[in-house]
Amino acid sequence: MADMDPATLTTPWRRDPAETLPALSCWVEHTMGSGARVEDLGEPGNGMSSETVLFTVVTPDGNRDRLVARLAPMPDVYPVFQTYDLDLQRRCMDLVRERTTAPAPVCRYLETDSKWLGTPFLVMERVDGEAAPDVPPYVFGGWIMDAAPEQRDSLLTRSVDVIAQVHTITPANADLSFITGPDPAASAMTAQLDGQRAYYEWAREGVTYPLIERTFDWLVPRQPADRETVLNWGDSRIGNMLYRDFEPVAVLDWEMATVGPREVDIAWMVFLHRFFQDLAVRFEMPGLPDFMTPEVVCAIYEDLTGYTPENLHWYEVFGALRFAIVSVRTSTRGMAYGQMERPGDPDDLIMFRTLLDGMIA
């Protein structure tokens, strides 16, 4: 099985900052005026599907503007997702910031012309804060592991509240036509399942992954009845928030945003922690077994909203399916770049195959 070894998660598909700096500088001068220049170019540690560039714009009068650019993947570097809609991400962040207390970043520019950086990009105001790291995962050590239990409890409550705030936006009170597609009356959950099937067919490139297909076979006949449709953040996890003093100060990564039941986001948060905790156990580390459990997360959500999540195991399996397809795609990219060899069993590309197998047993 392909364990999460940090060596396999390096990103040779990212461009060299030495190439980005002059191109970004030209865009800055064109967009913000003659004499504006770029300083302090860097990148954060998290993120596998796109490139993020941190930079400061210094104007001739000495003003310093700290910004961050999210770049759509280059089409020739084995993208994780078939499409990458920066305008959808911008519209979601604008809507969340305007309608809720969730701290979505301020979007400054959406550049659709690829001539500058070879791909479209979205520029946002930069927010200072700490993220829960993915590599190595936060359950292996670091500021969340070192926190007092009451600090972690506070972080979790405030993080679930972010999800609850996002869920106050619905097709009934906001124009979500840029997400919902041509038939907003159709079952949102069926549409999500169909979307994952289409994603799998694209991502697998003709290779059959029996575990993923068994997971589809498990999910379809057990699909719960439709519940209220809300805006789904899609990638609702603590690794996609920035924190100061255990308080969320930025809600990031809207590339998987969609509409569907509240449980989609709740279960994704729970499952991603389950995945990281499973890694900790496999590496003989204690991790955080009592943190972000389904019972605790659902209780917090119900206290905040009055809504009782239902059928959470089904939605966790759905989340595991989504992550399995992403895992296959990122692992296949690793093989394309010579970072790993193709295993004899295709299911070995699913780094949590034993966990997923147990979930549908």
3-state SS record for 94-108: HHHHHHCCCCCCCEE
Contact yes or no for 71/51 (Cβ under 8 A): yes
Quick one: tokens of 118? 């070879």
CB 275 within 8 A of CB 269: no
| CB neighbours of residue 128 within 10 Å | 9
What distance in Å separates the CA atoms of residue 182 and residue 307, rounded to the nearest whole number? 29
Query: What residue type is 34 in one-letter code?
Result: S
Asked if residue 188 lies in contact with residue 195, where contact means CB atoms within 8 angstroms, the answer is: no
C-alpha–C-alpha distance, residues 197 and 74, integer Å = 24
With H, G, I as helix, E, B as strand and everything else as coil, classify residue 78: coil
What one-character DSSP code corresponds to residue 251?
E
CA distance 163 to 262: 9
d(CA 36, CA 29): 5
Point out the catalytic residue in the list 235, 253, 265, 347.
235
Is 235 catalytic? The answer is yes
Residues acting as catalytic residues = 235
